[in-house]
Amino acid sequence: MVDVALTGTGALPEEMVSRARVLDRLRLGDLVFRNLTRAAAILVLIILSGVIIALVSGSLPALRAFGFNFLIEERWNPVTERFGAIAPIYGTIVTSFLAMFIAVPVGLMIAMFLTELCPMSLRRPIGIAIELLAGIPSIIYGIWGLFVFAPFLQQYVQPGLIALFGNVPILSRLFEGPPYGIGMLTAGLILAIMVLPFITSISRDVFEAVPPVLKEAAYGVGCTTWEVVRYVVLPYTRVGVIGGVMLGLGRALGETMAVTFVIGNAHKISASILAPGTTISATIANEFTEAVGDLYTSSLIALGLILFVITFIVLAIARYLLLRIERRIG
């Protein structure tokens, strides 16, 4: 009785020692976990800093030689060592825009169908089929695009587009020229197919996270399926949807092999999306192994730096939009 009174908790000394050991072990595990997570975060920053330093140092010779003209000059001539990045930058932006212009509405519609309209027996097969698209290597997309998709576009699609928009003032410039089959439109379509699984999968997951009571309440007051999706599902999941779109855009900006096969690899700017072009990643992949001389190599590394900056700006804008949406929601 004296020992219990002295402890003040009704526990025996042996039990107190055992509890102290358990608490010490938990504190040690928490300390190790905290340090490991901190080290992982610091490691990511170190790797990112190393990449930035390598790109900047490697691109300095080209930036010193050409200055700001490197960003606005179209010419790319390894023989005379005159290089300009505007054609790859233009091709990267145009193909990525075409891909997102096609993939975003199609991906959202597929996600809406799977979550709201699709029979239960078909949801899993269709979902698995869409996710399998993400597992196909990019070089397979490129081979299929070059030998199957591009000839199909050249024979059946591009002549119809040229004839359809030939007399329309602005669209005639976008769809002018001979039907090569390959070109920026073909690259944009291939990229759209490649980013479609990412947008669809993420959108489907966030759509399924909407509380059923919200949709049931909307149906209860007489809303149609489209009205439920527009006024309930999309507002509730817009942060996740934007995140999925930005993930797909990041994939489109950096895709290399599939685009290299079907874009035509021409260092020129054309108003027509049917014309051949090039992208930053395709230019690097095609020419890096053949780069002779420090200036040539430095110009290719400078292209990599530009692609890094473009991706960073896009992701920063996306993060800013997400923050504004979260603040508006409260």
pLDDT for residue 261: 93
pLDDT for residue 2: 44
Output the six-digit token pair for 324. Answer: 């504004």
pLDDT tens digit string along 85-140?
999 999 999 999 999 999 999 999 999 999 888 888 888 888 888 888 888 898 99
pLDDT for residue 80: 87
Q: How confident is the model at residue 157 (pLDDT cuts 50, 70, 90)?
A: very high
Q: How many residues does the chain have?
A: 330
Please tell me which residue, 19 or 96, carries the higher pLDDT value.
96
pLDDT for residue 46: 96
Q: How many beta carbons lie within 10 A of that of residue 59, not counting itself?
A: 21
pLDDT tens digit string along 310-326?
988 888 887 787 777 77
The answer to whether residue 217 scores a pLDDT higher than 70 is yes
Q: Which of 139, 135, 94, 179 is nearest to 261 (CA)?
A: 139
pLDDT for residue 158: 92
The answer to whether residue 6 scores a pLDDT higher than 50 is no
pLDDT for residue 130: 85
The answer to whether residue 309 scores a pLDDT higher than 60 is yes
Q: Which of 211, 217, 244 is nearest to 111 (CA)?
A: 244
Q: How confident is the model at residue 330 (pLDDT cuts 50, 70, 90)?
A: low
pLDDT for residue 328: 67
pLDDT for residue 259: 93
* Sequence-distant (≥ 6) Cβ neighbours of residue 318 within 8 angstroms: 242, 243, 245, 246, 249
pLDDT tens digit string along 252-291?
888 888 999 999 988 889 889 999 999 999 999 998 888 8
pTM of the model: 0.85
User: What percentage of residues in the chain have a pLDDT greater than 90?
Assistant: 43
Lowest mean pLDDT among 1-15, 142-156, 303-317: 1-15
* Sequence-distant (≥ 6) Cβ neighbours of residue 190 within 8 angstroms: 141, 142, 145, 149, 258, 259, 262
pLDDT tens digit string along 21-55?
878 788 888 889 999 999 999 999 999 999 999 99
Round the CA-based radius of gyration of the chain to a whole number and report it: 27
Please tell me which residue, 7 or 221, carries the higher pLDDT value.
221
Dist CA 273 CA 161 (whole Å): 11
